[in-house]
Each structure stands twice: as C-alpha cells, then as structure tokens.
Amino acid sequence: MKTQITQLLEDAIQSLKNKGTFTTDLAVEIVIERARDKSHGDFASNVAMRLAKPLKQKPRDIAQLIVDAMPSSAVISDVQIAGPGFINFTLAQGAVQSVVFDILQQQSQYGLSDVGKGKKVQIEFVSANPTGPLHVGHGRGAAYGSVVANLLQAVGYEVSKEYYVNDAGRQMDILACSVYLRYLELCNETVVFPSNGYKGAYIFDIAKSVFEQHASEFSVDFSSLLKNVIADETEENKNGDKEAHIDGLITNVKKHLGKTHYHVFFGAGLNSIVKDIKADLAEFGVVYDNWFSERSLMEHDAISKALEKLEKNNTLYQKDDALWFKSTEYGDEKDRVLQRDNGQTTYFASDIAYHLNKFDRGFDKCLDIWGADHHGYVPRVKGSLSAMQLDADALDVLLVQFAVLYRSGEKIQMSTRSGQFVTLRELREEVGNDAARFFYVMRRCEQHLDFDLDLAKSKSNENPVYYIQYAHARICSVFRELDEKGMVYNENNIQADLSKLANEHEQALMSILARYPGLVQSAADNYEPHQIPQYLRELANQFHTYYNAHKFIVDDEVLRNARLHLIVAVRQVIKNGLLILGVSAPEAM
C-alpha cells in the first residue's frame, strides 16, 4: 500500500513539474508512514514539508498543489491536509480487505521483498573464544544475529553468516595449560591448580580423552613446572600475581612438551570445544556459512598485508621497539600497539587483518555483533578501515547486552572462568528452543535483558511466545472443527467474500495484517528483530479478541468463508513472522 501511495505522490509531483509549477530538477525522498491516530487516516506523508525549503513556499500551500494534481485511485477514499502540511490518506474499504487476498495468494512470500537487490552482506556473530561451552550471554548474541540474518535475507540481501574462531593467543594457551594440568592429575600427580586457569568440568573431560589415548606418556613432576614461576595470587597469598603465574606455567609447559606434544593438548581443547559449540548452535537453529580461523590469518600473511597497507598510508610509527597504530587520529582514546617489542603481533592486529580480509572477499556490507563490553573497540576498528582507505561506513557494529537469568524472582549468579555459569544448552533444555530464541530478541540488543525462566516455561497468556503460538494453533483447531461438522472451506471467490468483513474486529485485524511487509522492512533496515515479536503479540491479541467475540463456523456460507479467509491470513502471517524468528508454529497445543 505504501508503494501505491508513493506512486500517487510521484505522479502528482511529476505533473506539477511538467506544468512548470515545480522546477524540473526538484528532487525529494517520499516517505510514507502509518498514521498514529486513526482519525488522521491510515497513512501520512510529510513530502510537502520536505519541499518547503527548495521551493521557498509554505508547506500547506505545497500540499494543496500536490493533492489537487494527484490522480484518482480506487484504493484511496479520502485525502486531507493536516497540521503544518501533512498529507493524510484514508484507504477505501476494498483496499483494506485486499490485504487478505494478497496474503492468501503470496502465502510464505508475503512480507518478503527485493529491496536489498542481492547486495552481499556478511554478518559475524557469537565468535566466542573456544575456551568453554557457550553460556546464556552468548545465546542472546546467537539469537539476535540469526534473526538479523533472516531479516536481511527476507528483504533481498545475499547474507553470509560467519563465526570467527579465536584459535590463537593467550586464552588458548591458558586452555591448553588447564587441560594439561588436569591430565597430570589423571597421571596421579599432585597439582595446585592455578586460580586463573579454566576450572569447568569440561576441562576434565578433555583431559580424560587425551589420557585414554596416551596414558602417562606426557607426565612430569608438577613441581618442575613451577621453576622460576611467580607465586599465584590466592586467598592465602595476596602478594602473588595470578596473571604472571599462569604465564610462567604456560612457558614451562611448552618447554617440557615441545611444539608437537603441546599441540596434542592445544588441539584437544580447541577441537573438542569448537565441535561442541557447532553442535550447540545447530541445535539452536543457528547454522553458519563459514567458520573462519584466526590462525589462518598468520598462515597466509594476512597480518603482514594489513600492516603494509597501514604503513603505506603513514598511519604507523615505532616507539619503544614496538609498532603503533595512530588510532587517536580516528577517534580512539589512545594509540594502539600492533606489534610488540618481541615481534609478536597483537589481537588488534589480527582483527585489522580479519576485517581487511572480509572486504577483500567482496562484501558490500559487514555487520559485527559484539558484546556490549566491546564498546570502546568500535572506533579503533573503524579507524583501521579508514586508515587502509576502506569505507568505514560499510561496517556496522551492533552491541548486545548480556542476558541476566532469574528463577523464582532471584538472579542467578555466573562466572565464566570459575566454571560457574548456565550454558546455552542447559537453558534450551529447560525452556525449549522456541522460548529461548523468542525471549532473547524481545528487547533492543543494546538494552539489558532480564530473562525470566519461570515465565518462559509457563503456559499462560503472560508468556508471549505461548500466546502467539496458541493463536496459530487455535486457528488450526477451527478447521479441525469444520471437518468434524462435515463442512467445507471454499477457497474460491475470495475477493467477493471479503466484502462481508465489516465489523470493527475484522477491520482492526486487516489493518494489522497490512502493516506486516513494512514492519519487516523496518526491522531489517534498523537491525531491530524485537519489532517482529512485538508485532506478532499485537496480532495474536487482536485475533484472540476476534475469536472470543465472533463465531467463524456460521450457517451463512459467504460470511463463513470470509471469516475463514481472514483467519487463514492471520495464521499465515503468524507463521511467516515466527519463521523469521526461528520459532515453530504448532498446529495443536
């Protein structure tokens, strides 16, 4: 409907150009919005106010010229000028009813568009360090990224979903060291486990798998690993240094094992956890097109290539035998080290190389979905793109707040390093995939999310996902009842039957249904999945109200078919919306 109104306005403006009333080079973006107040019609445009400055005329005068030049249309029953110059449109009754016909014709395609024109978008999300199972915080990023990808595909973009595997760096060394120390315990060594090691039960499982293959082949007296290692920081020893302690242990473990044997533990930890993450996400309905290894950047000299680009553009300098990036010139709070004095490149250097690699692969737009604690990281990454003479605006970074779990009104405390956290798998097993995905995207990504486990499991109208799914199932039950009564739903003569849909509940339902395509576009344009569950809840509420107020299976065949057409359309839109969310649409509950 917005397209048709836009065309009417464009025709009117072109007619005024042809007559010389408006200059031929006049350009304006026509925006059509749903009227917030029903008394102002169904749609409104501020095009006259947008033209006031270039035409140097009063908006209301411009609006009158446009309205007078507008061709007649069967879909518009009334056009009014309001306020400072808004043009308000009221749809003809037949136009409102036509949405039901459109939905029944388009079915699963209703709401889809080709606005993206096949432009290539890469969306990278979750990308949690492979040092342990995914927890509930990662789950929110997974659901959010998955639905954003679905939205972009729905409006015509070619989307590639990617997981960046941080399989290099210090955290992976801490993981390998933690696995090795648990392995030593299985070899009957007495180990004082470092306070900064990974303590989750999954570390024991990985260590056990190594022990089953190699027995005590790699065992060593634990005390020998403490040689020249700074004491750990513990409750008993406040003067220790836990960071230096774990780093010292890692150095000694590497010396003892050597490169080949060290990789046994490194690989066991990495492969086990990545395998688990892949399975966990796939079970959650999140499947990636590509898993990109950070180590591959080093193997293919991608970091050197990025540093060469930065050097060529005079954005690097040497200081204290280290290589620095002039990130303050691009809005960062301080310059950043890319290569340390020992020759090792930093995580930031890898990130720069990774983003260069993304654009080298030909993506028109890249989306990074990060945790909210990465807020300060955004300007330096965008700055690095500008420094390499790439379009920084082609990268959008979306920050997702972690979810906080509540059970029986009490907050559940979590700590990743200590292993005291609720995994995504545990959450899914408790509340189900549907509730988990739905609840994760109910709020804007930058808003804190309080996840009420009791509400997510409840079978009540207060549980939004249950309420929406129940609307879909309820419509299916109407057709089962129809069969039981030996009556037939006639899917022909749809447009003729729709004239019977005249009561206020039916008009309200059709009005909501007509909003769906525009809402999908808005949610995609703004990366706002939360618009979909909010819309579906409104649609479900209006349907339940209609269900309670009117009978669908009535003796009047034309009226019966008209109402069945309408609820089939409602069912289809609910199903379409839930599909974007990755949530099922059950036929019975």
d(CA 318, CA 68): 69
Report which DSSP code applies to 388: T
List helix spans (H) across 70-135: 93-106
List the beta bridge partners of residue 345.
Answer: 339
Average pLDDT over residues 362-380: 93
- Give the pLDDT band of residue 439 (cuts 50, 70, 90): very high
- Give the pLDDT band of residue 9 (cuts 50, 70, 90): very high
Q: What is the pLDDT of residues 474-513, one digit of tens each?
A: 999 999 999 999 998 988 878 777 888 989 999 899 989 9
Does the pLDDT of residue 415 top 60, yes or no? no
d(CA 226, CA 247): 11
d(CA 363, CA 16): 41
Does the pLDDT of residue 552 top 90, yes or no? yes
| Cβ-Cβ contacts under 8 Å for 525 (sequence gap 6 or more) | 155
- Give the pLDDT band of residue 416 (cuts 50, 70, 90): low
Torsion of CA 239, 240, 241, 247, to 10 degrees: 160
Owner of token pair 């409840």: 458
Average pLDDT over residues 446-454: 93
Average pLDDT over residues 371-378: 88
d(CA 523, CA 150): 11
pLDDT of residue 426: 93
Side chain identity, residue 237: N
Does the pLDDT of residue 36 top 80, yes or no? no
Average pLDDT over residues 62-67: 94
Which residue, 262, 252, 268, is CA-closest to 208? Answer: 268
Side chain identity, residue 63: A
- Give the pLDDT band of residue 315 (cuts 50, 70, 90): very high
Q: What is the pLDDT of residues 249-304, one digit of tens each?
A: 999 999 999 999 999 999 999 999 999 999 999 999 999 999 999 999 988 899 99
Report which DSSP code applies to 195: T
pLDDT of residue 512: 93
d(CA 72, CA 74): 7
d(CA 435, CA 439): 6
Cross-sheet strand order for the sheet of 158-165: 290-293, 158-165, 120-124, 365-371, 395-400
Does the pLDDT of residue 417 top 70, yes or no? no
Q: What is the mean pLDDT of the chain?
A: 93
pLDDT of residue 104: 95
Domains of the chain: 2-91 (3.30.1360.70), 99-114+460-581 (1.10.730.10), 170-275 (no CATH)
Average pLDDT over residues 96-103: 88
Helix orientation angle between 557-581 and 464-484, rounded to the nearest 10 degrees: 140
Q: Which two tokens stand for residue 427?
A: 């959450």
Torsion of CA 21, 26, 29, 35, to 10 degrees: -20
Side chain identity, residue 79: V
Residue of 94 and 306 predicted with greater confidence:
306
pLDDT of residue 302: 95
Does the pLDDT of residue 76 top 90, yes or no? no
Average pLDDT over residues 234-261: 93
Q: Which region among 9-18, 68-77, 358-367, 389-398 has the lowest average model confidence (pLDDT)?
A: 68-77
d(CA 149, CA 138): 16
Average pLDDT over residues 52-71: 92
310 within 8 A of 352, measured Cβ to Cβ: yes
Q: What is the pLDDT of residues 419-430, one digit of tens each?
A: 567 899 999 999
Average pLDDT over residues 181-192: 97
pLDDT of residue 92: 77
61 within 8 A of 79, measured Cβ to Cβ: no
268 within 8 A of 276, measured Cβ to Cβ: no
